[in-house]
Amino acid sequence: MKRNAAKLDGGTIWIGVNYWSRTGGPLMWRDYRPEVVVEELGIMRDHGITLTRSFFFWPDFMPAENTLDERLLRHFDDFLDRHRALGMSTIPTFIVGHMSGQNWDPAWRAGRDIFSDPSFVAQQEWYVRELTARWKDHPAVAGWLLTNEIPIYADWPSRGIGTLDSRAVTAWVKTLVEAIRSTGATQPVSVGDGAWGAEVTGADNGFRIRELAPLVDFHGPHVYRMENDQVRQHLGAAFICELLDIGGKPVVMEEFGLTSDYVSEENAAHYYRQILHNTLLAGATGWMPWNNTDYDALWNQEPYRHHPFEMHFGLTDDQGRPKEQLREVKRFTELLRKVDVARLHREDTGIALIVSSYLEKPYPFTQPEDHTSVFAHTRQAYVAAREADLPVGVAREADGIPEDCALYLLPSAKQLTAPGWRQLTARAEAGALVYASYFTGEHGVQRGPWWPKLDETFGVVKKLRYGLTDPIEDEELRLIFRRDFGGIAAGEELVLAVAGTEHSRSHLPVEPNGAEVIATDAHGRPALLSHARGRGRMVLCTYPIEHMAAVTPRVNPEPTWRLYAALAQEAGVAPEVTVPDPRVLVGRMAHEDGRVFVWFVSEHEEQLSCRPTLPQGAALRDLDGAPLTSVTLPPFGVIVAELTA
């Protein structure tokens, strides 16, 4: 299957930053100081950043209906000219009613609905069209964004979840995009909503990514997740990029970052390094951290007065001095130049991670956990696959199961549609290996696996009792292998986490009926079984191992990576380049001229050394051409090498 790494027209790669001047933050246009702007932009450019995302603070730029503030427009004229003089460009953002923990209405809104009130939508349409017409031909304009995180502005207590009408939202986006295009503007356009729709989160906030994809030119995730596991944190944004392979659009990391009030500067740099490299390997082709500078002088101005941590998301401090995270961005941009990133692509893969359509589809009479658990389990499976160095592709059931893979992973899935099951069994019959792990759900409504013909599919007889679970009583799960399986030898044990609710902490009691028992639990019960199906195999895990890991803090790396590596070996799609330590992730990208680059990404807080396994006759050399037989990584470090024959 193909893996997305689409680029904007012309192979453009955006290396940018979200920008407010330290002179005023959202109120900068009232006290616009060109000399400070030039200084701030120059510091960004000197560190490899050539793009900003800029913002029209809506209450100021449109003080009344059918009215624009001409003084502020002239300030933005100058702002664009300053970009052009420095060889930089910007992406203006129109509807800025939310920013950094504060919502601001234009004084004339009068409580009208943002998306469905005809008169209010007409005013937004006029506003967007007027501003676009003024600057559509300016060489410093690189693109347009409709909003900034408008689900929070529309309904901040819910962030739009369950409160916004998707039909009204989609019609509103269409209206504003058409307003931009009606001026003759040709730059890329997107929404600026954060890409928090059901297709990513499992919770419907009205901004349905599938419905908006035909209207936009790129997806722009905003990622600020708080986690309880270091590896899930470092791979969280990458997994979201994988999920945004919708409509073949480029994925631009429109917002990510952190406040210096939460972390040390050293750990801030580690986080930036991990996000930048892991999202590149996951298909992102643009990055815009939040944000350019700190705002200490604005301590008594909203939103910083009541959200003081928002003052310190900057890549520089309030005096313009670079922080280590800005230096990390510079190192990243220097690497991208060395590998000629505009001509890199992700190689096709034969390994598919299946995302149940229950993540995004509002099927009747389902529970919220049925949707959100899909995200948690597939993300944990993605982590395990990356720890096994597998070049996994994320395949949505809603798009149809791809037919060109040798290994399919279905992790802890309570629900898949009947057509989805038919497609998976057909893939096994055609010669693939299909793996699925049992999961009864996190709640008590229709508790059990929605797996039609479970017995026949997996060659077992299930011993379930209606309405009851089979609790996992042990404090840890021991998988004891009864024969060699992939790289796991007979007699080896994998010890995995046990966790979950009273409903989900359950296993599937079965007796083999045609299936071969590969591994048992500590009580001798079948835990992993393989069943021949046509020319391929169906492999069943009777424990929800991905679910249990997903709800366990500080669990990674955990042994599921060994199982996935063994499955890949059994399916004939073991990675060509790998390392034995799951704390080092291996990823690859290929250049259109035939060169292959290999990333080694450490997920450990101390220095690590490892010796990669390579294809016969192959070698590694660093980007300066020196041979590389082993890899020594600093804490959370990254090394990129070229794979040569």
Distance in angstroms (rounded) separating the CA atoms of residues 241 and 236: 9
Element (H, E) at 38: helix 34-46
Given a contact cutoff of 8 angstroms between Cβ atoms, the answer to whether 326 and 315 are in contact is: yes
Given a contact cutoff of 8 angstroms between Cβ atoms, the answer to whether 598 and 631 are in contact is: no
Element (H, E) at 598: strand 596-602
Looking up tokens 């990356």, which residue turns up? 386
- pLDDT tens digit string along 395-440? 999 999 999 999 999 999 999 999 999 999 999 999 999 999 999 9
Residue 470: per-residue pLDDT: 97
Query: Would the pTM of this model clear 0.95, i.e. be above it?
Result: yes
Residue 10: per-residue pLDDT: 78
The residue type of 329 is V
DSSP secondary-structure letter at 346? P
Q: Which residues contact 160 (CB under 8 A, 6 or more apart)?
A: 151, 152, 154, 196, 205, 206, 207
Query: How would you classify residue 617: left for phi > 0, otherwise alpha for psi between -120 and 50, otherwise beta?
Result: left
Q: How far is CA 168 from the centre of its chain?
A: 26
Residue 645: per-residue pLDDT: 86
Q: Which residues contact 590 (CB under 8 A, 6 or more apart)?
A: 344, 345, 346, 347, 596, 597
- pLDDT tens digit string along 439-495? 999 999 999 999 999 999 999 999 999 999 999 999 999 999 999 999 999 999 999
Distance in angstroms (rounded) separating the CA atoms of residues 215 and 220: 13
Q: Which residues contact 637 (CB under 8 A, 6 or more apart)?
A: 273, 601, 602
Distance in angstroms (rounded) separating the CA atoms of residues 393 and 395: 6
Reading the block at residue 47, the tokens are 């560190």
Residue 488: per-residue pLDDT: 98
Q: How many CB atoms lie within 10 A of CB 604?
A: 18
Which residues in the chain come in under a pLDDT of 70? none
Reading the block at residue 282, the tokens are 């996951």
Q: How many CB atoms lie within 10 A of CB 335?
A: 19
- Kindly list the distances between the CA atom of residue 641 and the CA atoms of 95, 150, 365, 388, 391, in Å, as whole numbers in the listed order: 43, 41, 51, 19, 17
Tell whether the torsion through CA atoms of 267, 272, 277 and 282 is positive or negative. Answer: positive
Reading the block at residue 275, the tokens are 């996000």
DSSP secondary-structure letter at 542? S
